[in-house]
Amino acid sequence: MGLRKKILIAFLLLAAAMILPLFFKNSRYTLNLLNLAGIFIILTYSLNFTHGYLGLISIGQAGFFAIGAYVTAGLTMALGLPYFPALLLAGVASSIAGLLIGFPATRISGHYFVLITLGFGEIVRLIILNWKEVTNGTNGVNNIPAPTLGPWVFDTRFSYYYLVLFFVLLTLLVTLSLRCSKYGRSMLALKLGELVATVMGVNPLTNKLINFGLSAFFAGLSGGLYASYVGSISPEPFSVNLSVDVLTMLLVGGSGTIVGPAIGATFLVFLKEWLRFMKEYYMILYGAGIVLVMIFMPYGLVGLVHRIASRFQSPSD
Partner 1 sequence: MTALLNIEKLSMRFGGLFAVSEVDLHVHQGEIRGLIGPNGAGKTTILNVVNGIYRPTSGSIMFDAKKITGLSPHVITRLGVARTFQSIQAFQGLSVLENVMVARHTRSSVDFISTLLKTPRARREEAGIVDKAMASLRFVGLGDRKDFDAVNLPYGQKRLMEIARALATEPKILLLDEPTAGMNESETLPLIRLIRQIRDQGITIILIEHNMRLVMDLCDRISVFDFGVKIAEGTRMEIQDNPKVIEAYLGTGDRYASC
Residues that bind partner 1 (CB under 8 A): 174, 177-178, 181-183, 185-186, 188-189, 192-193, 195-204, 210
CB of 307 to partner 1, least distance (A): 15
Q: Which is nearer to partner 1, 197 or 251 (CB)?
A: 197
Q: How far is the CB of 214 from partner 1 (least distance, A)?
A: 8
Q: Which is nearer to partner 1, 156 or 203 (CB)?
A: 203
What 3-state DSSP class applies to 140? Answer: coil
- The Cα–Cα gap between 29 and 26 comes to 9
Alpha carbons 246 and 59: distance in angstroms, whole number = 8
Q: Find the shortest distance in angstroms from Cβ 186 to partner 1.
A: 5
Nearer to partner 1, 26 or 316 (CB): 316
Least distance from partner 1 to the Cβ atom of residue 183, Å:
6
Cβ proximity to partner 1: between 72 and 257 the closer is: 257
From the CB of 162, what's the least distance to partner 1, in Å?
Answer: 24
The pairing of strands 148-149 and 152-153 is antiparallel
Of the pair 22, 199, the CB lying nearest partner 1 is at 199
Fill in the amino acid letter for 229. Answer: Y
Alpha-carbon distance 248 to 58, whole Å?
Answer: 11
Q: Cα–Cα distances in Å, from 29 out to 21, 163, 244?
A: 11, 18, 25
Q: Mark out the alpha helices in the chain (DSSP H runs).
A: 3-19, 28-54, 61-77, 83-105, 111-130, 132-135, 157-179, 182-192, 194-199, 204-230, 240-253, 260-274, 282-296, 300-312
Pick between residue 109 and residue 138 the one whose CB is nearest to partner 1: 109
Instruction: Please report which helix (H) or strand (E) contains residue 82, including its range.
Output: none
Least spacing, CB of residue 256 vs partner 1, in Å: 9
